[in-house]
Structure 1
Amino acid sequence: MDIRPRLADRTVNRVTDHGGSLVQASALFPDAPMPFFDLSTGINPNPYPFSPLPASAVERLPEEADIATLAGRAADHYGAPSAAHVIAAPGTQLLLPLVASLLPPGPARILGPTYAEHARAAALAGHAVEEVERFDALYGARLAVVVNPNNPDGRLIGRSELLDLAENLQRSGGILVVDEAFMDVGPRPESLAGDVDAGNIVVLRSFGKFFGLAGLRLGFALASHDVAQWLGDWLGPWAVAGPALHAGLEALSDRDWQSTMRQDLITARVRLDALFDDAGLSIETGTDLFRFLRHPRAAQLFDHLGRNGILVRRFAGRPDCLRIGLPGDDQGFERLGLALEGWAGSGQ
């Protein structure tokens, strides 16, 4: 299967509405106190402390044996059937249009509102894309995409429901893609990582969010052996850079850090919710890496926090919604708390 000509023929707008751009924040709020405090992403603010990079990580091409070891550790960490079901990539972002191209162009439905790149990637692969808000509307698609837990609101679809959908799609040659970018802080029993041998299920897992190392660009596709082999062939032998390989090998096997971090994130999430509650702003949903707020004056809150040098995530077309990441330390919590006190004191 050669998807390159099909991708080259597509004209799809670039996505510019995303979190994490401090350059855009500074342009939007030029008089805000510096440095800007970024709470606009769902990335762990306390990254995994991997050991210093050896010179070989940047001087030499990655060894095939090390890539295989990384796949094995990812399979163990995420619960895939084996290393042969895992393909490592420079971030799941690159995998989106490749996975969408496992099928010829046809109807693609994405359970939304959610991460906008899935729709763009499916369009790049030639699909007729529709975002639907009811889970049962995914039935009848050739390509169905579910982000689970969902970004930005943390919505969770149960494993049994997803397996029923996958079985239905399989009868007509369809594929279910489940983006589990935030499942590291979700309920592990609801993951479909162990079900990819069904043949038409592809699970995407992000490394950078839970481990706080988004800039390393590392992610994984979990799939049947045949699909994993095709993705691996397309990506080629050196898709993962040496620094990402080095950090990934350490982080994925460090169970003690993972367990401690999950508890730390719960503590931080509870503390963050309390700050908003004290300001009269009730957090609706989210995950242990981000919180989701729905409020009629969300746009004004975004502006108030921005003028105080705090960036949160707003959404085009959804002016009543905000996503807030976790502060990484006491100083961050104090800065956010003071800004929220100012909001509450202003009577907004």
Structure 2
Amino acid sequence: MDYTGRQQRLAQALDGLKLDALLVTHAVNVRYVCGFTGSNAVLVAGPRRCILLTDGRYAEQANAEAQNVRVVIARGALLPEAAKILKKQRTAAAGIEAEHMPVAQRSILRGLLPKKVRLRETTGVVEQLRMMKEAAEISNLRQSVLLGARLFDTALEAVRPGVREIGVAAELEYAARRLGAEAMAFDTIVAAGRRSALPHGRASAAPIPARGFVVLDWGVKLAGYCSDQTRTVHVGTPDSEMRGQYMAVREAQQAAMEAVRAGATAGDVDRAARQALQHSGLARYFTHSTGHGVGLEIHEAPRLGKGLHERLRAGMIVTIEPGVYVPGKGGVRIEDMLCVTETGCEVLTPTTRELITL
């Protein structure tokens, strides 16, 4: 990973924001900037160098993992140590990650600093850098996607009438660990029958019915990077309405995929999916955005939603996941991960998108 390059790009971002320093407190952002994976850290990022603060539990780990930074082991709370560094550096304007620092901590930090030091709330400074994936990141994401895809066969073997949704999730998650996953990327979704109309129907104790859709949405973490995949299968023979619903979602996903390319806006991609569903009369049942970025976190920028103007760039990794959810009947979602290219996209998920009946 190019930690030096990341720190240089962060310094450029701070210069553009007229900040002398940024307190990076979100653990994922700390990892992105310097490689440290501990759960207690503050990174004081400046124009010339970064200082990593952590506690004694992580002394050995920090010195082994953190790249191109000075490691300081604090004896007490980290914010007072961060304030000391800001004062020593004669910082005039320091940024905080507003969405990741609670109000109480901001108040504490404000009280630790001279009034002449300006504290400014920032949003998404590091997250903007994370949107563009380096070659090593794309490689890690490919491996995570491939590991996740291997779990589909496990899920198909586990899905049968009478088995509880949580039982299917358990089989899938156990197989993930056995194959080498660090963790699941999020709570596994298994939603069967009428429950498949719940977009985020996490696995419950409900049994799988003798007939109906089963939405399976899962992902793994490998080397810190997430995968995200959704497949919808049908238990029993689907009727023409169910087949039509599935094909409508598949066509919407294909339309969105064809809209993905460097220079297209997030809204362009979302519009393509919705227009396809308009033709089938199902657009009103599509209740969420078309996709999102994936990386060290399962949901990252850019979000592919209605009216959004973020332009896609080559090297971004996104999902395409339209869905249709008919209350009282059932739902369908199909999701794949893509790498944006200059002329289109590369689909990373290898699993079939044909309707599978069990």
Q: TM-score scaled by structure 2?
A: 0.26
Q: TM-score scaled by structure 1?
A: 0.27
Between structures 1 and 2, the one with greater strand share:
2
Q: Which has the higher contact order (CA 8 A, sep 6+)?
A: 1
Max Rg structure: 2
